Amino acid sequence: MKTMVWNRLLVFMMISTVMGVSVKTSEAEDVYKIQTMEDVVVTATRTTERIMDVPVTTEVITREKIEMSGATHVGDLIGKYITGHYHKYNGLLSPVGLRGFRTDAHGDDVKGHVLILVDGHRIGTGNAAKLNVDRIERIEVIKGPASALYGSAAMGGVINLITRKGQGKPSLTLSGDYGSFNYYKGRVSGEGEVNERFRFHAVTSYEDVDDYDDPKFGTVYNTWETKKNFGMNLSYALTSNHELRLGGNYADLTGGYPSWANFMTYGGYVKSARQNYDKSHGYADLEYNGDFFDKAVHWRALGYHLWDRNHWNYGSPDPESDQTKYTDTTWGTDHQFTWNTAPWNTLVFGLNLEKLEKESSGVSGGQPAAPFTPGMEYNSQAYFLQDALDVWNNRVNIVGAVRYDRFELTTRKPKTGTFASFVEKDEAYNHTSPKLGIGIKFLDELLRVRGNVGQGFKSPSADQLSAQYKTNTNVTYVGNPDLDPETSLTYEIGFDIFHDLLTFRTAYFHTDYKDKIVQTTTTLNGQRAVTWRNSGDAKIAGFDLNLAWAMGRTFHWPLGLSLWSNVTFNTTKKDEETNKDLKYISDYEVKSGLDLQYNGFSAQLSYVLVGPQMIDNWDTWPATTEKKESFNFWDMTLRYRFANHWEVRGSVLNLFNDRVEWVRGYLMPKRNYLVGVSYTF
């Protein structure tokens, strides 16, 4: 009952804001800044642009919101602030989604339909739970297809993690946190501008938590986690027009995942469960930025190395006797040239080269065994071109882009296991992705009307195209070289109101999803074989709404108080072949909150509501489809900075002890607490 009262109060405040708020100008200091048209983003066009000049739906999670979230990884940030889809399991696994698409359920970067970047290049995983928040300055989220600039997987959108580079006088911060379930975290960070040429940001942390309790079953045994993180950015200005940056992060991530006593009844967890994992992850990048021809041409060059491990031990007394291990290693380079051909025209062109190798191995009964999937190799080359026109005194912004991708994919024999036969085959294909957007501003940029259309795609995996092997249990896998990539064609129309005190944005989107790749069976040499085919089309449509209101300045209050709300309604989500609802797309999502600042005190009260969705129920084989009902929860965070050096903070997560179930059967923690203190030298 208490939760229902709060829900109704927040809905009333949102409706009052949209229907009838009297917005006044104010000379008071903007202590809590809402997003305005002057805020800049880089992901939507690969160039620095005002958000008002970008015609695609763009959302930003600022550093302030990261600090107020109570979240320790990117997955929980997306779950709290961005509407789309969050698929959180216990066991440090959190795929994330946008516009009806999501990253791969097991975090495989190249198999996802949403792309996660760090500082503009692939981060090497689709598992957002692996990504620590300590180094992130802000997160830019592009909703809708972005394959015209970023290639495969950018069907539902792009999530770009922009890291902290260091600013201000050099400083050192010591930080400690303690919370429910014996959670503790120690962190040391430093940043600053050493001189006019050199700046840095570095952070290292150790984080540990025991098994948590959920509101229904009590202790969820074997959900412990241990995280060790280190990351840095070192930037050096060679001259006023040329700068180098060396950055990277390494995360040692280990933990356990639980077992149900009975999957058919969900009656409780097995206390003696021993399954555990190593999901460590890392990357390093070297970036050069240079201006030429009196700053008319800018060259950004990136070289990067990505490394991602997914290692499962399946609970044997000897942890080495039953396990599967996958390790992805990527080398890549990305070059972008930005040419300001005229004050009203910017041309962007560039190329991307990548090589990814997936090594796989397994052990069963103490003996080397074949893993679930073979090894794979991906070689890709891409070329992209974008033209941005700002005409009629920047009242009209037109952006068109196109990208050409070529892939050479190979299925490799795993490092372990015996096979009746295994042929390592290569297959190649190419794909072109276009995009066009336009924004028109009225009333001295108070109002903007915008629209865009674009194509997204996801490449078939190497085994889907080129597998040719038979296991020692006589199961044959054969790739389909005639597979087409999965594609989506999306058009979007919307309007935005940007005012110093009130921002309101809304958009209608419609996506035609084609050539979904599914596993099937065929006959090869008179025997049954597993293969893949393109199957059917689907339609996804709905509305996005974003609201931010600087209430404190509107009413001339001597504090910063802001109301924000992000809402998505998925009005259409149909499989055209079966005429049934697509799975794992909720009917609606609401993510709202109140932010408050006064002198050194900050507070956030946030609310998440996830509507019903169709899901698979794996209690039986084959799975049945059923409806998963809605759920909601509240979080609250308080922070206080004082004496120029100290900060104390506290969070209450799942404030009303609700049943939070992002995935059926995987309940999240009951009401839990977190307190911390920091000192900056």
Residue at 511 is within a domain: yes
Residue at 552 is within a domain: yes
- For residue 290, what pLDDT band results from cuts at 50, 70 and 90? very high
- Across residues 439-450, what is the average pLDDT? 95
Residue at 115 is within a domain: yes
- For residue 86, what pLDDT band results from cuts at 50, 70 and 90? very high
By residue range, what is the domain housing residue 479?
2-18+28-680
Instruction: Tell me the CATH number at 365.
Output: 2.40.170.20
Indicate if the pLDDT at residue 53 is higher than 50: yes
Mean confidence (pLDDT) of the chain? 91
Residue 444 vs residues 55, 146, 393, 394, 495: alpha-carbon distances, Å: 17, 29, 11, 11, 15
Q: CA-to-CA distance for 261 and 268, rounded, in angstroms?
A: 6
Residue at 293 is within a domain: yes
Query: Two tokens at 670?
Result: 């009951």
Query: Two tokens at 326?
Result: 């996958």
pLDDT per residue as tens digits for the range 332-389: 999 999 999 999 999 999 999 999 999 999 999 888 898 989 999 999 999 999 999 9
pLDDT for 33 equals 61
Residue at 286 is within a domain: yes
Per DSSP, 663 falls in state B
- For residue 488, what pLDDT band results from cuts at 50, 70 and 90? very high
pLDDT per residue as tens digits for the range 278-287: 999 999 999 9
Indicate if the pLDDT at residue 16 is higher than 50: no
Residue at 197 is within a domain: yes
Phi-psi region of 528 (alpha: psi -120 to 50; beta: other; left: phi over 0): beta
Is 652 in contact with 151 (CB distance < 8 Å)?
A: no
- What angle is formed at CA 332 by the lines to CA 329 and CA 335, rounded to 5 degrees? 165
pLDDT per residue as tens digits for the range 102-161: 999 889 999 999 999 999 999 999 999 999 999 999 999 999 999 999 999 999 999 999
Percent of the chain with pLDDT over 70: 94
Phi-psi region of 124 (alpha: psi -120 to 50; beta: other; left: phi over 0): left
- Of 104 and 620, the one with more pLDDT: 104
Is 399 in contact with 55 (CB distance < 8 Å)?
A: yes
pLDDT per residue as tens digits for the range 518-558: 999 888 877 889 999 998 899 999 999 999 999 999 999 99
Is 77 in contact with 66 (CB distance < 8 Å)?
A: yes
- Of 604 and 24, the one with more pLDDT: 604
Helices then strands, counting H and E runs in the chain, come out as 6, 43
Q: Where are the alpha helices (DSSP H) in 409-471?
A: 462-466
Instruction: Return the closest-CA partner of residue 436 out of 154, 145, 158, 160.
Output: 145
Residue at 23 is within a domain: no
Q: Where are the alpha helices (DSSP H) in 511-640?
A: 551-554
pLDDT for 174 equals 97
Our count of domains for the chain comes to 1
Indicate if the pLDDT at residue 28 is higher than 70: no
- Across residues 607-616, what is the average pLDDT? 96
